[in-house]
Structure 1
């Protein structure tokens, strides 16, 4: 049964996200920010209120598990009562600098920031907090963001060393665009990163599939060909860990199975090959491999779940299942390090999935465009496809937050 979104009536804004990852490229949190189709109808403060309202309706602790949510704030919004509704341990408040008025206002804003810190919120600042005018703010910093598009490269190491020496804050390198930047900053001692690069990494040099990947690809292919249960079990017998992880995933509370499934043969009887295809596809994305960044699988899982939740609004049950699989397989080329046409052929992908990923046509192509737009700054694509699909801000926001929560419960 579809879970309807809570009312977020008074905001025209839309939530977008960007992952924050650690040095192992595992997601530790998300920055949530506003993407609005009607900028003249809202203020910066109302944008923040939208995010807080959405989080408080859902319960941030339920939405993010052990992930942090970084929320852009105006100084005006920090005084609002909506903060009282949130669990501060899950929220990082991103504090704006004061621009030209910093020398006059920094000390006036300090009591509010101290109060928020005492209440348990973590505070994040831009690199301007390292300037002398913000000296009173620096001890409050839990995170400091270095904007790589603004700072000259020769300043990266200097600012990192200064921040490490004069604060206890974690440094986050933001607007990462290349692997070379990642390696350089890692060498400088930076351990947290953010940027569009993590959502669209380049395909790695072709390599042999990891054993677990090979087993999953073989299993998915057999499921698509509707092979016999004996043939399916033969694959699992060769990889006991795969069988265990698949059954653990199927029995996870987040998937709503009413009775415990104790064997793969039982899973086939109770669920059917089509549903098992879905879980095997999910496991392919969720499983951690030595050469594949964990953030990549996390992105694929969020895409799949977001597309599925939105598809429930207007597509058939079968198309909704295929929406989920399309999102999962949208990064299959990077996960397997082979071109996407070859990857889809290898697993005998359904026609609806092929249409969306290869021809960019069919009922799922626009949903995929929307899911990708939630990860990047292509506002025009986002606006166009949201309007074309006839989805409201409320529907998109609620599905997006639920997809983030659901993906955090998946651990391959």
Structure 2
């Protein structure tokens, strides 16, 4: 039979990477009756999340959007996420675009009372009003779940729990009492597929079509101290300028924010390439939610301090040098070039691969990847300042017509600025 094209387009992380720095997300295709991919169900396979909890639900969505490269993971397809009832009220859902996500809602425990079942309806209604679609398993078709029936956009029928002779009755009931699309799941044989197809079921999932595939991605996480500092700024309703200054201090923080806000799950129609624009688009409320989620997936260490400090010095030095010769907005981009110039080291992968998951202006990419364009000479001079190579320093400074005094003074300022940031964190 023909199988859908669901090849794993994301590059697996090297086996020797620290497990704490790897996001593992399994996906399984949901296909239509022509076996074209309709969407993907995602499962968290990270080491840190063995149990399915509200925290793991939040981490799964956060990792899918921020780390694994949403385009490589699911493309433009619909995403199905298994939820706990606790996570359905979670603030993490405010960070995603509801058009892209279907929330899979489990039945309550067998000993749940009718009052407890009915009490879920207001939560479902609130989610639907925000634009989310809900999927339920076949327990929805039981008498005591009648109040849930109008909430369903999808009903998933588990082919391993009933014989084919009962399929028609279940399908008819679902069609008579809901407006939901029916998904035949755990389809493992051609006979099951053909029988459900004859009942005009249009969506299918199971090993007969595709086994779950695990996509791995290297993550870089800011230190707890930096994320807490961001959270405090947001809670104090700090200005955009103050928040932008913090983002400039930590390349891992700014990298994660740009990658997150430009993921397809966030739903923007244009790419955001500056820290200031990202803060303004996200707003304080969503920025707080994002930072809180980032804190739960961060650890005490983060990127090695020497690498992060060097990146910050580069960013500040390029910003100062370019301010002598370029318009203010170009100096902002020069800072980004410098601070992201060590992404390949942070991520342990080539620069071209590292930049695939973050939206940047072409002039920034040209400097980082091709060593050309308006920012390339500034980056070359910045590297020369680190190398101690007098000849390379002289060539790079002369190319920009900057005096030794100008460059050395800017370098000292950049080093002082980076040192002050470290002292702030220690304090």
With normalisation by structure 1, the TM-score equals 0.45
With normalisation by structure 2, the TM-score equals 0.43
Structure number with higher relative contact order (C-alpha < 8 Å, ≥ 6 residues apart): 1
